[in-house]
């Protein structure tokens, strides 16, 4: 008896099909420029930070008497430790640069418009998580700036009414910045980085669900192509450029983003003349220090967060492409200049005229979402007027 050929059903692979849907066959607008490459690059940077942070953590000792020497041990005695430490320390600055460029690109091209409001909100959450995670790692070397940074970060919570001092005591593990603080920051530094990674996956999924914006501002379903192979050839150009820039920074100027006082062991009895945060933190640091009252200074950070979340519901213009909105371009350039000014003010001493300039810049920064809809609304009014009154255009000609 001859048996026929048996056909076995091929089991479905949901993981492979999902990866294929999001990474290979995902329809993407064909006119995306290189500026859109900062989105995937912002997802790669956290993975680099995790890898370069895990191995040095094996040699780090979170103790006030040993932390500084353990960092020097990583730099001098551990094979490849110097490279890993510089990659991790400077990678935080590189990550912030990529994220800022990604955010500014989204603001310039109005990528927050409907139906991508949820994508924008997830991006802001990732940005805020990054702001929270970075200072925790800055404390671990336990140099002079690290110690003072821990003091400033934890004491900021004391501005919260009623429960402020309880939170400060919990963060420090006691009544002052000491060994318990070093242990807590070392433990906490390993948890928050994984939260932005998970949020980044949600951000990517939401972006693929609603589609990407494009420079021309037309609907993303008008002209789309598969991600592979076009963008798999185009995006690495920006990644290679970023890798070259990072390599030059790491190999030739690894300490340019740090502060010389942080290479001095922490001494509670000696206060540096001027406490300066890391290069990616001054714009945020400049806002609370410009207000004399501690509670008011901490509360002033809230309008900045709200200003980042505010653009999604704003829909004021028929035209989304910024190339056709010259007034919006000028407002956006003023916004970039104001952000750069805040970054500079955050590195200056708390004295006149820097305090006054910081206050004005902080107000202007938070008012950006309220100003940007004005040109679009004026354009809509003019467009509706000439649409409903075509005889006006005829008489004028």
Give CA 272 to chain center in angstroms. 29
Which of the following is catalytic: 190, 208, 294, 315?
Answer: 208
Cis amide leading into 229 (omega within 30): yes
266 within 8 A of 146, measured Cβ to Cβ: yes
Q: Which two tokens stand for residue 265?
A: 């062991």
- Residue 104 CB partners (closer than 8 Å, separation 6+): 336
Catalytic pick among 117, 261, 278, 338: 278
Name the residue among 101, 89, 136, 97 with its Cα closest to residue 253: 89
SS3 of 33-62: CHHHHHHHHHHHHHHHHHHHHHHHHCCCCC
Residue 235 annotated to the active site:
yes
How far, rounded to the nearest angstrom, does the alpha carbon of residue 198 sit from its chain's CA centroid?
15
Q: Is the dihedral of CA 349, 178, 132, 61 positive or negative?
A: positive
CA angle, 27 then 29 then 32, to 5°: 130
Q: How many CA atoms lie within 13 A of 169 on its CB side?
A: 6
* Active-site position among 234, 305, 321, 322: 234
112 is known to lie in a ligand binding site: no
The SS3 of residue 207 is: helix
Rounded distance, CA 381 to CA 318, Å? 11
Of 212, 227, 242, 246, which one is the catalytic site residue? 212
Q: Is 203 annotated as a binding residue?
A: yes
Q: Which of 156, 207, 235, 338 is catalytic?
A: 235
Provide the residue count of the chain: 397
User: What gap in Å lies between CA 65 and CA 58, rounded to an integer?
Assistant: 17
278 given a catalytic annotation: yes
Active-site residue list: 208, 212, 234-235, 278
Which residues fall in the annotated binding site for heme b? 88, 102, 189, 203
Which residues fall in the annotated binding site for a ubiquinone? 208
Which residues fall in the annotated binding site? 88, 102, 189, 203, 208
């Amino acid at each position: 008896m001859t048996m026929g050929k048996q056909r076995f059903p091929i089991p479905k692979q949901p993981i492979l099909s999902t990866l294929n849907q999001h990474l290979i066959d995902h329809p993407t607008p064909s006119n995306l420029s290189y500026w859109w490459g900062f989105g995937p690059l912002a997802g790669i940077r956290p993975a680099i930070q995790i890898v370069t942070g895990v191995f040095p953590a094996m040699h780090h000792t979170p103790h006030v008497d040993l932390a500084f020497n353990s960092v020097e041990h990583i730099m001098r005695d551990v094979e490849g430790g110097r490279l890993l430490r510089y990659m991790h320390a400077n990678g935080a600055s590189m990550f912030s640069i990529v994220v800022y460029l990604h955010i500014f690109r989204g603001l310039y091209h109005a990528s927050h418009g409907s139906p991508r409001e949820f994508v924008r909100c997830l991006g802001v959450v990732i940005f805020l998580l990054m702001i929270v995670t970075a200072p925790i790692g800055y404390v671990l070397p336990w140099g002079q700036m690290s110690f003072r940074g821990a003091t400033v970060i934890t004491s900021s919570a004391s501005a919260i009414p009623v429960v402020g001092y309880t939170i400060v005591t919990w963060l420090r593990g006691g009544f002052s910045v000491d060994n318990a603080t070093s242990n807590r920051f070392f433990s906490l530094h390993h948890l928050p980085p994984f939260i932005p990674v998970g949020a980044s996956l949600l951000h990517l999924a939401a972006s693929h669900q609603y589609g990407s914006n494009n420079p021309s501002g037309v609907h993303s379903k008008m002209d789309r192509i598969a991600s592979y192979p076009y963008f798999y050839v185009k995006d690495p150009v920006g990644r290679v450029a970023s890798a070259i820039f990072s390599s030059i920074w790491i190999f030739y100027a690894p300490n340019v983003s740090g502060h010389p006082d942080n290479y001095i062991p922490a001494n509670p009895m000696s206060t540096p003349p001027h406490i300066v945060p890391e290069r990616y933190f001054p714009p945020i640091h400049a806002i609370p220090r410009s207000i004399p009252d501690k509670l008011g200074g901490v509360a002033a950070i809230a309008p900045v967060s709200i200003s980042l979340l505010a653009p999604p519901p704003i829909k004021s213009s028929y035209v989304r492409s910024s190339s056709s909105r010259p007034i919006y371009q000028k407002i956006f350039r003023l916004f970039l200049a104001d952000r750069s000014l805040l970054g500079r003010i955050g590195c200056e001493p708390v004295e006149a005229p820097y305090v006054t300039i910081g206050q004005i810049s902080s107000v202007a920064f938070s008012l950006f979402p309220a100003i940007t809809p004005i040109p679009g609304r004026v354009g809509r009014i003019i467009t509706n007027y000439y649409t409903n009154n075509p005889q006006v255009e005829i008489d004028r000609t």
